[in-house]
Amino acid sequence: MSRVRRIGLVQQAVGDDPERNLLRAEQAIREAASRGAELVCLQELFRTRYFCQREDAALFDLAESIPGPTTERMSKLAADCGVVLVVPVFERRAAGLYHNSAIVIERDGTIRGHYRKMHIPDDPLFYEKFYFAPGDLGFHCIDTSVGRIGVLICWDQWFPEAARLMAMDGAELLFYPTAIAYLDGETDEENAAMRESWLTVQRGHAIANGVFVCAANRVGREERLRFWGSSFVADPRGQLIAQADDSSEQVLVVECDLARIESQRRGWPFLRDRRIDAYGELLSRFRR
């Protein structure tokens, strides 16, 4: 039986109107489905502009519950199109408690999984610790009709431990909804180096774990940030089998043969050769 799956990634610029952003994301999902996508992943915080460039308590009003208006719309769309969806949400869990989250919706419209971003950055123009509590749902995969998937979000992509734990939980496809950008004031060389580092570390996750890695990033200028797009799919060898450019809106639809996971891991048996008896100190913050 064929294990080829068609994966869609949506790369869009985001405007000021959340309703229009939601409508445009729905249109992109329909486009991906019309081109044969079986699973479609949206970019991080797709419904709003990247508001974490400043600290403003009024922006908590952008958050919504799960389930809520966005998840209800997307559940209907998943059922209408017959596709699995990875949908990022600015989650209002309780009064004063918010998460940067994503849900997975099965093709029948049911919510199959929920992930809350575990690693929360606090960098210039990325003041996420003001808005989001760290995730508390752990690193657990979600079984879908397309395959067993792991969902992580943006800053999570720099941490090999997160990718490894998803692989150890059986992930075949690892998704990173993302909002990452060039900063004003940096040189072209510095910006290019950062983008290359971003690509390299995720390709490394694909290689080290023998999984497909799929990253969906936004494009366009938002205040002092220019989002660099470059959404991509890497195979278990870390090879880029599809990549969008760094400036235009695109919908990628990519074939991923999940049978390649088995063949790759037979040749490069990293999971077999891990010295799990010797890694206890990884639970320390620092050894010295």
Cα 138 to Cα 3: distance, rounded to the nearest angstrom? 28
| pLDDT at residue 176 in the model | 98
Cα 217 to Cα 58: distance, rounded to the nearest angstrom? 25
Q: Domain ranges for the chain, please list them.
A: 4-283
Choices 3.60.110.10, 2.40.110.10, 3.30.420.40, 1.10.1740.10: CATH for 4-283 = 3.60.110.10
Residue 232 has pLDDT above 80, yes or no: yes
Are 166 and 160 contacting, i.e. CB atoms less than 8 angstroms apart? Answer: no
Reference 153, options 90, 94, 106; nearest CA is 90
Reference 63, options 37, 81, 102, 89; nearest CA is 89
Active site residues: 44, 117, 154
Residues with Cβ within 8 Å of residue 147, at least 6 apart in sequence: 3, 5, 172, 173, 258
Q: From edge to edge, which strands make up the β-sheet containing 39-41?
A: 111-116, 97-105, 84-94, 39-41, 4-11, 250-257
| pLDDT at residue 90 in the model | 98
User: Residue written as tokens 């940096």?
Assistant: 186
Are 59 and 16 contacting, i.e. CB atoms less than 8 angstroms apart? Answer: no
Calculate mean pLDDT across residues 249-270: 98
Query: pLDDT of 171-211, one tens digit each?
Result: 999 999 999 999 988 999 999 999 999 999 999 999 999 99
Query: pLDDT of 125-153, one tens digit each?
Result: 999 999 999 999 999 999 999 999 999 99
Reference 3, options 260, 268, 253; nearest CA is 260
Checking phi first, is residue 66 left (phi over 0); if not, alpha (psi -120 to 50) or beta? beta
Residues with Cβ within 8 Å of residue 225, at least 6 apart in sequence: 50, 53, 125, 181, 182, 183, 184
Residue 243 has pLDDT above 80, yes or no: yes
Query: pLDDT of 36-50, one tens digit each?
Result: 999 999 999 999 999
* 251: three-class secondary structure by DSSP: strand
| pLDDT at residue 245 in the model | 96
